[in-house]
Chain A
């Protein structure tokens, strides 16, 4: 059974971002989601935890106008993170507004905790198509970022596992994550994300593998 160990988040405006996170002794993985605007080339920024490089698991970026006003969302992981207080370090390729959320879990695969990712981008009011990661015991997380201080709404069709909303005041970025647990193979999980106003958005849905 996958269980949330701890959650931490941060936001700001800079090219280098650090986030303090505490992993319990039973944590089997650490997952970091990052939303930023202007959008970043996801191949050119790096994420580490306590100096160890994290693995890129998926991302989406949109810059519709071609003028650096879009948004990027990425997800990174590391298995068997060091126990105790550590630092997530993010190095962007330029100064940007960012929102970061780190979640550590127990009961996940430590070798390959994220087994599947899907992504979507747009510039309008959007509902992400239903996503169903059918795998016994997996946890599906949807995380989305917008480039404005818009109302961002996430809904689940099944029980909410955990949620965070990194919603800084005065900075044009907002990131919200929400999860649902899939107890059986044939029990689809839906994570629906929608905006209440038009904005650039980049959404990821990822499935966390049970141990």
Chain B
């Protein structure tokens, strides 16, 4: 059963102290759901202390910084509450932040995801991951500094896109979500894009697998003949 992408939502905020960011997300009513939340944080010293969906704790699977100006965190939850509920991200200190969510269904929720990260200062943010199943998705989140720098995705499908806003572009952060359905098991799949100018960026990527229903024993019909 192939994975289906459900939808995205995101928000941005300027926190002048430790606090929380709340936004709504529709995680669908389909079966075998997966929710991925990305945090793009401008001040690397400020971290996500917890993220919940409908009050249920999510699990952090990636966190990485690029210097002190960009931080990316990725959190997940399998089978989140159905329908529209609040994502609440609690942050340890004041910062500019983008929080985004993307959800999928028909996902193998028995296999916990793992994530890899990459970071650099360049014009081409990218991360690659080797697929371990033909029908899996590579899902990524991206954080980068500066609100005026544009991002164009090259490899993958973009989901959420948001930017914190203040009068100084460089003091802000932008966040992106994305996924890539390409490739087969053993192939290296790329999530990549281009900036309008070189920036500090941090990428995370994980692999989610398709739900395969247990095979049904067809049985055999035995006819008895007299």
Interfacial residues, chain A to chain B (CB-CB below 8 A): 39, 41-44, 56, 58-64, 66, 72, 74, 93, 117-124, 126, 128-129, 204
Q: Are A124 and B19 in contact (CB under 8 A)?
A: no
For the complex formed, measure the closest distance between the CB of B59 and the CB atoms of chain A, giving whole angstroms. Answer: 19
Given contacts A121-B21, A121-B22, A124-B86, contact A64 B12 (CB under 8 A): yes
Given contacts A122-B86, A129-B20, contact A59 B163 (CB under 8 A): no
Q: Are A126 and B16 in contact (CB under 8 A)?
A: no
For the complex formed, measure the closest distance between the CB of A51 and the CB atoms of chain B, giving whole angstroms. Answer: 24
Contacts of A39 in B (CB 8 A): 14, 165
For the complex formed, measure the closest distance between the CB of A178 and the CB atoms of chain B, giving whole angstroms. Answer: 18
Interfacial residues, chain B to chain A (CB-CB below 8 A): 10-24, 86, 88, 94, 162-163, 165-168, 171
Q: Give the CA-CA distance A42 to B23 in the complex, in Å.
A: 21
Q: Are A124 and B24 in contact (CB under 8 A)?
A: yes
Q: Are B15 and A123 in contact (CB under 8 A)?
A: no
Given contacts A41-B166, A41-B167, contact A123 B23 (CB under 8 A): yes
Interface of A is mostly: strand
Q: Are B16 and A56 in contact (CB under 8 A)?
A: yes
Interface of B is mostly: strand
Among A42, A56, A93, which residue has the most Cβ atoms of chain B within 10 A? Answer: A42
Q: Are A58 and B16 in contact (CB under 8 A)?
A: yes
Which residue of chain B has its CB nearest to the CB of A128?
A: B20
Q: Give the CA-CA distance A41 to B13 in the complex, in Å.
A: 11
Q: Give the CA-CA distance A120 to B163 in the complex, in Å.
A: 18
Contacts of A117 in B (CB 8 A): 16-18
For the complex formed, measure the closest distance between the CB of B56 and the CB atoms of chain A, giving whole angstroms. Answer: 14
Q: Are B14 and A123 in contact (CB under 8 A)?
A: no
Q: Are A120 and B21 in contact (CB under 8 A)?
A: yes
Q: Beyond the given A93-B167, A119-B15, could you list 7 further A-B residue pairs with CB under 8 A, ordered by the A residue number? A: A42-B14, A59-B14, A60-B15, A64-B10, A122-B21, A124-B24, A126-B22
Given contacts A66-B162, A66-B165, A124-B86, contact A60 B22 (CB under 8 A): no
Q: Are B11 and A123 in contact (CB under 8 A)?
A: yes
Q: Are A120 and B86 in contact (CB under 8 A)?
A: no
Q: Are B20 and A62 in contact (CB under 8 A)?
A: no
Contacts of B11 in A (CB 8 A): 62, 64, 121-123
Q: List 20 A-B contacts (CB under 8 A).
A: A41-B165, A43-B166, A59-B14, A59-B17, A60-B15, A61-B13, A63-B12, A64-B11, A64-B12, A66-B165, A118-B19, A120-B19, A121-B11, A121-B20, A121-B21, A122-B11, A122-B23, A124-B22, A124-B86, A129-B20
